[in-house]
Amino acid sequence: MKKIFWIVIVVFIVGSCYNNSNHERNDQPDAETYEAERIEQSIKSDVGQMVMRTRAIDNWAQHLCNGETFRFAPILTIELEQLWMKNDPILFNGVITDIYTHNQTHYSILIKRTILLSAVMLLRTELNLSLISPKENIDTLLQNHPDIIKDNLGFSKGVAVIAFIDSIKPITSQDGEINKIKVGYGKLVDIMYTGIVKF
């Protein structure tokens, strides 16, 4: 598990350097690049408006990392309790890993924070949310973005969610370490498709 984590870190750093060098070389971006950048900025603007509208907490990851790019130390559950379990909801970016029926009117939706869609801060502890959501919210999302779970290449597309967190529990990972996975349980307030945009 540690080996995989370090491989991902190296790939992340190399990819960032490659992207930076590409931007320096491409002094005259083509129409596709402009369009991709326009879409990315539009999505980030929409997420920002969603945060403002719901007064969501969107800087909890910065607090966990203390302004650094990486956090190698495990995250304690109490740290997340202090940042997530407040009067205001939180913003969480990740991918949908499962959806199942909670009752006749609601789904339970599982969302995982992934390194591949994290632009700035990398956390060694895996963070997940398990949220109760009205069925119409998720049905509309799936109808508009049928490839959101996995596309033809097997990659899941990202979502931004606003959620109230009621409780947080540590989950024991396959290798027996309890601090590697934390799950926040709560209620979905809003959800937005973000595709491959990194946050």
pLDDT tens for each residue of 9-42: 544 554 555 455 444 445 556 877 888 888 889 9
Establish if 191 belongs to a structural domain: yes
Average pLDDT (62-69) is 84
Q: Check whether 89 has a pLDDT greater than 90.
A: yes
Residue-averaged pLDDT of the chain: 83
The average pLDDT across 54-59 equals 95
Residue 11 belongs to some domain of the structure: no
Position 65 in a domain: yes
The confidence score (pLDDT) of residue 16 equals 52
Number of domains in the chain: 1
| In-domain check, residue 6 | no
Give the number of other Cβ atoms within 10 Å of residue 169's Cβ. 11
Mean pLDDT of 162-186: 87
Q: Percent of the chain beyond pLDDT 70?
A: 79
The answer to whether position 10 is within a domain reads no
pLDDT value of residue 124: 80
Give the CATH number for residue 165: 2.40.50.140
**Residue 111 maps to a domain:** yes
**Strands (DSSP E) found in 142-180:** 158-171
Which pLDDT tens digit goes with each residue over 96-126?
Answer: 999 999 999 999 999 999 877 776 667 888 9
Q: Which residues pair with 190 in a beta bridge?
A: 162
194: nearest Cα among 59, 53, 94, 52: 94
Q: Which residue has the tokens 């790019």?
A: 69
Q: Which domain holds residue 161?
A: 26-195
Q: Is the dihedral of CA 183, 184, 190, 196 positive or negative?
A: negative
Residue 17 included in any domain: no
What does pTM read for this prediction? 0.79
Residue 142: inside a domain, yes or no?
A: yes
The DSSP code sequence of 126-155 is EEEEEEEEEHHHHHHHHHH-TTSS--TTSP
